[in-house]
């Protein structure tokens, strides 16, 4: 059996000079509070503040990074405890965890391994590595710990020094948990994000139902495009009243479009009626990014665009197990042409912030850094999803910094559904920034005092500015 | 004159800690047998076991990596001994070799240089570097050595510890050399691969002739698509009877398609008649990848897909010197959308193995690693062709590992026509894997004992599993 | 306040062995003369040899790298001294410089910072870093120095050891400054480049006016395509008579096309009349690359192709401030298919040189290196524009060398409008080549004596051959 190795110098450069600088920088920010402006934890956890059930339900079943890797090697989702259609999964959670332990070697070299080892060691005090032999002990230890007060959701917020945590809710959400959080004094700490894909994307099978819900919720007449826009404004206002600072848009591409009044009215009617082609839907989404940007100018919400994922690529897995099971696959996309209509209209405004993400790294140096290094409204989000990783972060900094600088980036997002992994992810991000800065200093591309200034910006400064969180 | 420098630590990391780990890992696998599941050596060599003629005919003329580089700098193919159309090349092979020696500096920084120096030094005991001054001595030494028993093809197999060597033959091949190899007890060691592009790709000028040959060979009626499929089944069965484990498909793109019965029948008739457009041909190839996958489910052959090369890009070179003269140029391709029809039908099957290769590295992190890290049927082949190189291997591991892990990769392919370069290529691959693992360990991203486990997998374990060679 | 840090080992590898080799290589070429075969300095400077006005007008206002970064963070172009439409900018240049100094931190991690620090320190002897505090002292010191004889343009040429400097002029330029330079004995040192985009690109708003000018200038009848070609030949001949060695073509894509006589005549008439579609224009440009290549065969001019920039992406900035203000954004392009018509006709000719550049780095390993490693006419230009940077140079060498070798590259271009940055840029390029070679030697991929040979080629040898400057 092997010990978990959380070496204090992990992820730092091999070169001693650079490593010493990286270590000094890291010591400067390792205990800084966590600001998490984009993520997918469940607000009910913090609202209810109940203990989590067991290691499997809390750790394994919701982690699509883990599920996909196990599934790729022939492990059954059901055996891991994932629910099949509407049947309650009756797998013994301890047996599911044992299966995870038996296959833990599959994660060698992946970020999941780094995050999980951190959680096992730092959060639960486990010392031996997870394996077939230790799986039972792991399940029992973690599950027992989860029953204690120290592992209740709000205690975890404190323990992890999480100063600000954004969740993400659809346009039709009533934000009941955030209401409870407000009542309990957590309203400035756990805040939603307005993600209206469900009422903007006509590709969705529930699009028309969602429009009906939207009409009911807002008392707007959705028979005209104007009414539809008013309904969206209404919902944005509600979210803003709940402390929300940002919107998020998960489109297949980054296309934007500025249709004339008559054109968009006609297109809206086609999409609303369910008669739209795939091209109509793409045009509608593209125009709606324009409208969302225009509303951001009005109401001040920061806009985030996450394009390029082919969602639910595996229809069999989707039918059997639903969304977010590791079957979303990136596609080639571009930005220069796609964003032009939006940038033509609003790109020069300093009172508008559009944070861009990508799954197609070819855009880092070719399009995103040149765009962000010119347009006042643009900032670049951190390496996203598959690229939220050691090598992904190296590529991001190497390919973005020289053209966009540091100050057109927006700090780190953990973007996670996994509460316990939040400090693990921020720790990796901080270490990687220290590594990059350490190398710049050791190669005489940056002064050491500038690096100390920058590591503060990369850890808390830039995220605060980009997401307009100066008051938190 | 300079000595050839095969330093024992070559290609290992500069950082001493990482280098020491890499060296220890390398010592663990340097003498492991070679398993070569994909390549293009000539089976006649091993069947006849005759001596090779001379250095030029054996080394220089068949090596498209070498030809292309010399040609790019204005060296004439004919002067290098390459046959012009049907005219016998009368160039003195010693003069051709001299030309090679004179231009050997062109290969600085290329993998050819690393492979060639290895062969010159390790296989022929040459000590001075190849140059204009040493070219004559090189030609004489190598040519003399090639006349001895120790350099006969079968002796080379033993000397190089080649445990398994796959050749590649078209669908119409009668496998006479493999029949002889079977008779001589080499049938489990030198095995063919079924590559049916000649009867599947309607773009080929000989497609219709090939279908006629296929009909004669299989006694099937190729007037219907069903008859055509039966003929392909017949040929696959024959290859399987000869010990073949895998098919290989060299398509321009990765597109797949599942046409209905009537549609594919109609398309087949169009392609068969020579009336097809380029789009028809692309659709036919796309559908045929589906059929090949379906047959793999039936008969157990592992499927390999090598897309993205624009073959014979230089028409003048093609007319004068034929195929495989260094004029195949990669193109941008994608996989996420292209493979969807095939994956929709067969992607979740663990009894099917599809090994994917690419010449377009933008797919490593964006599409291939996410696909292979989810679909049970997929494995990723090693860096291919131009990317079978030091930097190419670094990019592959850096861009693939975090999302696909190590266990969704398929070990190394030498993919070579050059028999003598086989150990050189495997040596580079082993060193580069040791380098990568050494760096992970030195950065505390992996335990040293895990690295020892992994280097065995990367050298022999994963290739054995992916190509179903457990019994060899 | 921090000192400017121009450490003698800056940009060299962290690893000591590699660093020592890099340092030795650098000492070998640090004082080599500068050959600058492609750039955008103003020939009037050298013709008139007048002092420059002040720091802001000379340094800040013309530098689109600097303008874009400041603009991206909300700094007003007008406040920086940039002219708004036809209004004379009345901003105090000292105040504009102060604004620059206040925002100098934005350039951390960018190549601008490296170049600027070099100029401040090496050319003006400034010791403290530029900042809000030192901006006034900077402005005064630089402006005062610029008034002295030592900082006159021709003195700068000598001081920087610039042996050859190419400027770039449009097809309608009368080359008055080069005529003066010829008269003054500088004609072989400061030479133009023929860039005919203004009379080849029908997308330009001034295209038809330019054709009229071309007719007047050449006394050719431009009512037929043949007359148009003759006019272009006439202009090329004039440039050649002025010592010009190369043409340059800045197209949106790399597409080439070989239209038949009747087709191109018809297309020319359409484009000439202003009735062409965007597709017509693209076809016309594509065919004209063919014609330019054919003329290069006739007259011996080296051809350069710089595709892939979306010029003037920001219409508001274009309307307000004009071209070259940092609003050109790269786009995804490809080469394998695009260049095929041209390569089919002329690719195998060793008497033709086409130097290719890219802003889309995905082509380095996928298309450009395979093409240049095969076709005798092709050479690869250095990392261009945003990629003329530390990381950009690393990526270029790592992705190009293994497939194209060193000898199919064309040395360094500074490509700059900023006279004073020329030695800074060449210094970075030389250091980065030394770094790359030092690493190859330390990993035993290259002999040290070969590295010394190569650093000479990369610094002066290859550029001389590629641009046919053997006689300068």
C chain contacts of residue B114, beta-carbon cutoff 8 Å: 445
Closest residue by Cα to residue C51 from C155, C151, C140: C151
Contact C327 A398 (CB under 8 A): no
Q: How far apart are CA B311 and CA B252, in angstroms?
A: 8
B chain contacts of residue A390, beta-carbon cutoff 8 Å: 402, 443, 445
* pLDDT per residue rounded down to tens, chain C (472 residues): 689 989 999 999 999 999 999 999 999 999 999 999 999 999 999 999 999 999 999 989 999 999 999 999 999 999 999 999 889 889 999 999 999 999 999 999 999 999 999 999 999 999 999 999 999 999 999 999 999 999 999 999 999 999 999 999 999 999 999 999 999 999 999 999 999 999 999 999 999 999 999 999 999 999 999 999 999 999 999 999 999 999 999 999 999 999 999 999 999 999 999 999 999 999 999 999 999 999 999 999 999 999 999 999 999 999 999 999 999 999 999 999 999 999 999 999 999 999 999 999 999 999 999 999 999 999 999 999 999 999 999 999 999 999 999 999 999 999 999 999 999 999 999 999 999 999 999 999 999 999 999 999 999 999 999 999 999 8
Instruction: Dump pLDDT digits (tens) for B370-384.
Output: 999 999 999 999 999
Domain assignments of chain B as residue spans, ordered by start: 51-151
Q: Which among C5, C74, C361 is the nearest to A366, CB-wise?
A: C361
Q: Which among B334, B344, B407 is the nearest to A73, CB-wise?
A: B407
Q: What are the structure tokens assigned to A430, written together?
A: 């901080």
What secondary structure, in 3-state letters, does B235-275 show?
Answer: HHHHHHHCCCCEEEECCCCCCCCCCCHHHHHHHHHHHHCCC
What DSSP element (H or E) covers B353? none
Q: Pairing relation of β-strands B378-380 and C190-191?
A: unpaired
Answer whether B408's CB lies under 8 Å from B378's CB: yes
What DSSP element (H or E) covers C441? helix C422-442
Whether B408 has its CB under 8 Å from any CB of chain A: the answer is: yes
Closest residue by Cα to residue A460 from A472, A446, A448, A445: A472
A137 to chain B nearest CA, in Å? Answer: 21
Q: How far apart are CA A237 and CA C336, in angstroms?
A: 51
pLDDT at A1 over 80: no
Half-sphere exposure of A244 (CA within 13 A, CB side): 29
Whether A141 has its CB under 8 Å from any CB of chain C: the answer is: no
A chain contacts of residue C72, beta-carbon cutoff 8 Å: 372-376, 378, 404-405, 408
Mean pLDDT, range A143-155, rounded to an integer = 97
| Model ipTM over 0.85 | yes
Answer whether C420's CB lies under 8 Å from C66's CB: no
pTM equals 0.98
Q: How far apart are CA C433 and CA C412, in angstroms?
A: 10
Q: How far apart are CA A55 and CA A132, in angstroms?
A: 15
Q: How far apart are CA C76 and CA B288, in angstroms?
A: 59
Answer whether B236's CB lies under 8 Å from B156's CB: no
pLDDT at B1 over 70: no
Helix or strand or coil: residue C300? coil
Q: What are the structure tokens assigned to C152, written together?
A: 């006159």
Answer whether A360's CB lies under 8 Å from A308's CB: yes
User: Dihedral (C-alpha) C384, C386, C388, C392: value to the nearest 10 degrees?
Assistant: -100
Q: How many CB atoms lie within 10 A of CB C166?
A: 25
Mean pLDDT, range B402-427, rounded to an integer = 97
Please identify among residues 179-238 of chain A the ones whose CB lies closer than 8 Å to any CB of chain C: none
Closest Cα in chain A to C109: A402
Instruction: Report CA torsion sign: B87, B92, B94, B95.
Output: negative
Q: b/e map of A216-232 (b: 16 or more CB within 10 Å)?
A: ebbebebeebebbbbbb
The backbone torsions φ and ψ at residue A111, rounded to the nearest 5 degrees and listed phi first, read: -65, -30
Q: What are the structure tokens assigned to C121, written together?
A: 């320190």
Closest Cα in chain A to B13: A14
Whether A444 has its CB under 8 Å from any CB of chain C: the answer is: yes
User: What is the widest separation between alpha-carbon atoms in chain A?
Assistant: 69
Q: Which CATH class is domain C51-151?
A: mainly alpha
Q: Which CATH architecture has domain A16-48+164-466?
A: Alpha-Beta Barrel (3.20)
B339 to chain A nearest CA, in Å? Answer: 10
Q: How confident is the model at residue A316 (pLDDT cuts 50, 70, 90)?
A: very high
Contact C5 A440 (CB under 8 A): no
Please identify among residues 410-439 of chain B the ones whose CB lies closer than 8 Å to any CB of chain A: 439
Please identify among residues 40-59 of chain B the ones whose CB lies closer than 8 Å to any CB of chain A: none
Please identify among residues 378-397 of chain B the ones whose CB lies closer than 8 Å to any CB of chain C: 386-387, 389-392
Number of residues that this document lists for chain A: 472
Q: How far apart are CA A451 and CA A445, in angstroms?
A: 10
Q: Pairing relation of β-strands C309-310 and C329-330?
A: antiparallel
Contact A450 C7 (CB under 8 A): no
Q: How far apart are CA C379 and CA C357, in angstroms?
A: 9
Q: Which among A68, A314, A391 is the nearest to B399, CB-wise?
A: A391
Closest Cα in chain C to A338: C331
Please identify among residues 233-292 of chain B the ones whose CB lies closer than 8 Å to any CB of chain C: none
């Amino acid at each position: 059996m092997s010990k978990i190795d959380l070496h204090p110098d992990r992820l730092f450069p091999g070169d001693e000079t650079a490593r010493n600088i990286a270590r000094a920088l890291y010591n400067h920010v390792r205990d800084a509070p966590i600001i998490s402006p984009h993520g997918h934890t469940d607000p009910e956890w913090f609202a209810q503040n109940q203990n989590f059930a067991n290691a499997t339900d809390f750790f394994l079943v919701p982690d699509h990074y883990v599920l996909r890797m196990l599934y790729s090697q022939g492990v059954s989702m059901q055996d891991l405890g994932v629910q099949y259609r509407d049947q309650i999964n009756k797998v013994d959670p301890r047996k599911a965890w044992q299966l995870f332990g038996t296959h833990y070697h599959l994660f060698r070299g992946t970020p999941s391994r780094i995050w999980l080892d951190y959680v096992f060691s730092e959060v639960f005090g486990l010392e031996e590595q997870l394996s077939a032999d230790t799986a039972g002990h792991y399940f029992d230890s973690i599950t027992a710990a989860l029953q204690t007060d120290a592992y209740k959701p709000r205690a975890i917020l404190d323990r992890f020094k999480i100063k600000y945590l954004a969740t993400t809710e659809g346009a039709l959400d009533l934000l009941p948990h955030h209401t409870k959080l407000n009542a309990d004094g957590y309203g400035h700490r756990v805040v939603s994000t307005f993600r209206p894909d469900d009422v903007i994307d006509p590709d969705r099978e529930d699009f028309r139902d969602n429009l009906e819900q939207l009409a009911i919720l807002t008392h707007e007449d959705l028979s005209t495009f104007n009414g539809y826009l008013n309904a969206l404004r209404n919902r944005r206002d509600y979210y803003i009243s709940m402390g929300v600072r940002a919107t998020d848009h998960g489109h297949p591409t980054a296309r934007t479009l500025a249709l004339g009044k008559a054109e968009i009215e006609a297109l809206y009617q086609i999409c609303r009626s369910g008669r739209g082609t795939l091209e109509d839907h793409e045009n509608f989404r593209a125009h709606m990014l324009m409208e969302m940007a225009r509303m951001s100018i009005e109401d001040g919400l920061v806009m985030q665009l996450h394009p390029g994922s082919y969602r639910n690529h595996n229809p069999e897995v989707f039918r059997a197990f639903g969304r977010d099971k590791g079957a979303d696959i990136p596609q080639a996309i571009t930005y220069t042409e796609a964003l032009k209509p939006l940038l033509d209209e609003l790109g020069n405004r300093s009172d508008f912030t559009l944070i861009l993400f990508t799954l197609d790294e070819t855009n880092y140096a070719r399009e995103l850094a040149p765009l962000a290094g010119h347009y006042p409204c643009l900032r670049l989000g951190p390496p996203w999803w598959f690229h939220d990783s050691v090598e992904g972060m190296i590529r991001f900094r190497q390919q973005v910094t020289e053209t966009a600088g540091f100050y057109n980036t927006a700090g780190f997002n953990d973007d996670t559904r996994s509460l316990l992994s939040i400090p693990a992810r921020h720790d990796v991000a901080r270490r990687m920034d220290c590594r990059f800065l350490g190398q710049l200093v050791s190669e005489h591309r940056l002064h050491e005092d500038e690096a100390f200034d920058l590591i503060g910006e990369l850890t808390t400064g830039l995220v605060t500015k980009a997401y307009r969180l100066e008051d938190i």
